[in-house]
Amino acid sequence: MMVAYRTRVHLALSSLSLALAASAVLAGGAGAATLGSAAGARGRTFGTAVATSHLGEAQYASTLDLEFNGVTPENEMKWDATEPSRGVFSFGPADTLVVHAQGRGMRIRGHTLVWHSQLAPWVNNITSGSDLTAAMTNHIAQVVGHFRGKLAYWDVVNEAFNDDGTRRTSIFQRLIGNGFIEAAFRAARAADPGAKLCYNDFNAEGTNAKSNAIFAMVQDFRSRGVPIDCVGFQSHFIVGQVPSTLLANLQRFANLGVEVQITELDVRMPTPASQANLTRQASDYAGIVGACLAVSRCSSITTWGITDKFSWVPGTFPGQGAALLFDANYVRKAAYASTLRALGG
């Protein structure tokens, strides 16, 4: 009797917990089955850089749609793409991506308005500060205005500092001077008051001379009411070399009242990838997710691509790759599992 009763209770309890687990998955609760739903359950976005040109590949699109709840256009919103000639704007591939993301409830990070790289060549022919300010503020007004109301975030200025904390001598810095960043943020706010405005950079993930300089700038902007809402940490890491001060650094920026975000995450290694490095990569990814989750204002994590097949890494760092969560055949890597687990999935 007793045994039968226990068995029935046990059966009833296990089907109850199965039902609970299933509804948690559906609601994106604990045990959520995708990166986006698990991050969503923690109040975060898990995004990826997307190239519009790959959306026609069925596995690319289905992996994006299933796993991610945020997108950053990898190249489609950069200056050379959006204003190739002065005053001539082109938004085709960016619009396609925005429509794709909006139709699926994904949050979009606009990337990027003012950057020395992938700049339309005509900008480099400008010779006066006043003309460059006019070109820059018009570029921002037109591009941000075009997407007004559709993007959650904009990387307004990208990579304006050197590793030693001095300003990079871009054309903006040379012709306009230190004030170009502030001018860019003010123009972006005017063009879309609903988008959160970010400064974005690399090698600033840990506490160092570069992040100190960015910190001082953000502190100054906040105290003077210059509109800045978020700081993006690109996070193009080398396996085994995630800075130990990542969490503390994210937290000190968050303490200024801005959101912090991991915006271009990848963890590269020599190729072909060794098993040991793939295992180390899995723990690196989990540690990065853990750092973001530990900081309440860390609102999103974006990997710089979906699959190793299309990652920028091998083309930029010869002999390295395997930096993302899905391998070149869209197979989930150890880093995928550790990331999902770290998100609570």
Q: Which of residues 14-53 bind ligand XIL (CB under 6 A)?
A: none
| 264 assigned to active site | yes
On the question of a cis peptide bond just before residue 272, with omega within 30 degrees of 0, the verdict is yes
Closest separation in Å from C-beta 312 to ligand XIL: 3
Closer residue to ligand XIL in complex, CB, 310/343: 310
CB of 268 to ligand XIL, least distance (A): 12
Binds ligand XIL (CB under 6 A): choice among 63, 67, 69, 74:
74
Among 67, 264, 266, 284, binds ligand XIL (CB under 6 A): 264
**CB distance 288 to 301 below 8 Å:** yes
Output the smallest distance, CB 304 to ligand XIL, in A.
Answer: 6
Among all residues, whose Cβ is closest to ligand XIL?
312
Question: Is 159 assigned a catalytic role?
Answer: yes
CB-nearer residue toward ligand XIL: 14 or 118:
118
Quickly count helices (H) and strands (E) in the chain. 13, 10
Cβ neighbours for 57, distance < 8 A, ≥ 6 positions apart: none
CA nearest neighbour of 225 among 189, 195, 268, 192? 189
Which among 226, 212, 223 is positioned nearest to 180, based on CA atoms?
A: 226
Nearer to ligand XIL, 46 or 312 (CB): 312
Q: Which of 76, 159, 205, 259 is catalytic?
A: 159
At 51, give phi and psi (nearest 5°). -105, 120
Touching ligand XIL, residues 274-333 (CB under 6 A): 312
Tokens 């083309």 label which residue? 315
> Judged by CB, which is closer to ligand XIL: 67, or 264?
264
* Encoded tokens for 102: 């909006």
Residue with Cβ nearer ligand XIL (315 or 319)? 315
Does residue 79 contact residue 115 with C-beta atoms inside 8 Å? yes
Residues of span 138-177 touching ligand XIL by CB under 6 A = 158
In the complex, minimum distance from the CB of residue 107 to ligand XIL, in angstroms, rounded to a whole number: 18
55 and 61 in contact (C-beta within 8 Å)?
Answer: yes
Counting residues that bind ligand XIL (by CB under 6 A) gives 6
* Beta carbon of residue 173, minimum distance to ligand XIL (angstroms, whole number): 17
How many other CB atoms are there within 10 angstroms of residue 272's CB atom? 8
Element (H, E) at 145: helix 129-146
Cα distance between residue 107 and residue 135, in whole Å = 28
Q: Which of 75, 96, 245, 271 forms a contact with ligand XIL (CB under 6 A)?
A: 75
Using the rule CB under 6 A, is 259 a contact of ligand XIL? no
The DSSP line for 119-143 is --GGGGG---HHHHHHHHHHHHHHH
Nearer to ligand XIL, 234 or 320 (CB): 234
Interface map 218-257 toward ligand XIL (x if CB under 6 A): ----------------x-----------------------
Count of Cβ atoms closer than 10 Å to residue 319 Cβ: 9
8 A C-beta contact, residue 236 and residue 284: no
Least distance from ligand XIL to the Cβ atom of residue 215, Å: 19
Choice between 28 and 206, CB closer to ligand XIL: 206
Report in angstroms the alpha-carbon separations of 323 from 42, 72, 305: 25, 17, 9
Q: How many beta carbons lie within 10 A of that of residue 126, not counting itself?
A: 18
Least distance CB 46 / ligand XIL (angstroms): 18
Q: Which residue shows structure tokens 């596995």? A: 59
- Catalytic site positions: 159, 264
Interacting residues with ligand XIL (CB under 6 A): 74-75, 158, 234, 264, 312
